[in-house]
Amino acid sequence: MAGILQLLLLISVSVASEPSCPACSKYDYEEKMLERMIHMELAFEKLGEKVQQNLNNIKDEKKRFLEQAEHKLASLMDEAKKNQSSTLQKIEVDSNNTLEQAMAAFNDIKDQIVTPLVYFNAHSPQTSSLSTGEVIMYKTVQNNPSNGYSSTTGKFTAPVRGLYLFLMHTCTHSKYFALLKMMKEGSVLISTQNYDKDHYTCSSSQVFVQLDAGESVWVQCSSGGSNRQLYEDHPYRWTSFGGALIHN
């Protein structure tokens, strides 16, 4: 800038020192200076425009850069979110599988260690004369979860394999006999004989027995006749039959 001014000054001095210039007005020097200054102003204006243009370019560049960064960040966050949800999904599937396996294992063990609720109690047998081999039908069923006992056959059928305890309580009127035996399939488990010529009488019999699922236990008359009769006097003397699974 200082160089340009010096140059202008030099030129103007050399022009001004021209002594006999007819066309030159008195103000020629000033006019020329003014003209040059206008040129310079125009040049400066152009320079300013260029600077402005560059500034605008920088602004645009900055805006574009920010937009790109924002876009990149958004897509990274999106990807992270997707990764996260697929990881969670994998964890869920894994947990479900583990849970299912644990449940299956638990059910296996449960069947082995938990004794199911199996027992029954029944009374009210037939009180007519008994004949040999007649199965005693204890008709009033008090408890029978698992429905092992049938009042229509008088037999208990084991729903599961295990160790069972059976009881029979047998009462007779004076002068009447009761000759009963508890049977497992075809074999005798325990027998009882009741008789008193003056009084009512009762007896109780118990037996432990191992049964397979489907095997039956019942009570039958081992010796029949007209003086063979059972007695039941509610609620004092119950002729009854019962049993329970105690171990499997």
Ligand X SMILES: *[C@@H]1O[C@H](CO)[C@@H](O)[C@H](O)[C@H]1NC(C)=O
Interacting residue ranges for ligand X, rule: CB under 6 A: 76, 79-80, 83, 92-93, 96
Cβ proximity of 147 and 137 under 8 Å:
no
Q: Measured from the CB of residue 83, what is the shortest distance to ligand X in angstroms?
A: 4
Q: Measured from the CB of residue 239, what is the shortest distance to ligand X in angstroms?
A: 53
Bridge partners of residue 140, in order along the sequence: 123
Cβ proximity of 181 and 191 under 8 Å:
yes
| Beta strand segments in 146-200, E | 156-157, 162-172, 178-184, 187-194
Q: Judged by CB, which is closer to ligand X: 43, or 73? A: 73
Q: Give the torsion sign (CA, 136, 137, 138, 142).
A: positive
Q: Judged by CB, which is closer to ligand X: 9, or 93? A: 93
Q: Judged by CB, which is closer to ligand X: 42, or 80? A: 80
Of 189, 194, 205, the C-alpha closest to 230 is 194
The Cα–Cα gap between 77 and 56 comes to 31
* 191-237-234 Cα angle (round to 5): 135
Q: Judged by CB, which is closer to ligand X: 80, or 246? A: 80
Q: Measured from the CB of residue 88, what is the shortest distance to ligand X in angstroms?
A: 10
Q: Measured from the CB of residue 104, what is the shortest distance to ligand X in angstroms?
A: 14
Q: Measured from the CB of residue 74, what is the shortest distance to ligand X in angstroms?
A: 12
Q: Measured from the CB of residue 130, what is the shortest distance to ligand X in angstroms?
A: 59
Q: Judged by CB, which is closer to ligand X: 83, or 147? A: 83
Q: Give 144's contacts (C-beta < 8 A, 6+ positions apart).
A: 120, 121, 122
Cβ proximity of 224 and 205 under 8 Å:
no
Q: Judged by CB, which is closer to ligand X: 9, or 77? A: 77
